[in-house]
Amino acid sequence: MPTEPKVIRPAPQRVYVAIYEHRHGTDVRVFTDEAQATCWRTGLAKEWWSDAFEDGPPPDDAIGEAYFERMLERDEFFSTMQCEVEAGDHRPTGPADLGSIPGTERSA
């Protein structure tokens, strides 16, 4: 009697999706750890602080949070979300399934 092959799924990998929303659009980056996302937020705040505010910037360990808290009233946001990379087989089984995958819609 044949046996089914054992499917070994890889361990889930966590990533951090960082989203920077500003008046010119939205920038999204994915990092392997939260510290990298925080570093990007800090870099953005340091780059744009003098364009946005007249007072001097706070130290590096506080500038990211301070900048984006003050920029809320100007509709500029930064957020980070922890996610798991999906490693399963989620490919469509046929042409009829393509419409369920973003960017693969077909018109009649």
- Output the pLDDT for position 106: 44
> In 10 A of CB 75, how many CB atoms?
9
> In 10 A of CB 44, how many CB atoms?
21
pLDDT single digits (tens) 39-68: 999 999 999 999 999 999 999 999 999 999
Helix (H) or strand (E) holding 37: helix 34-52
- Output the pLDDT for position 107: 45
The chain-wide mean pLDDT, for the chain, equals: 85
Q: Which residues pair with 80 in a beta bridge?
A: 18
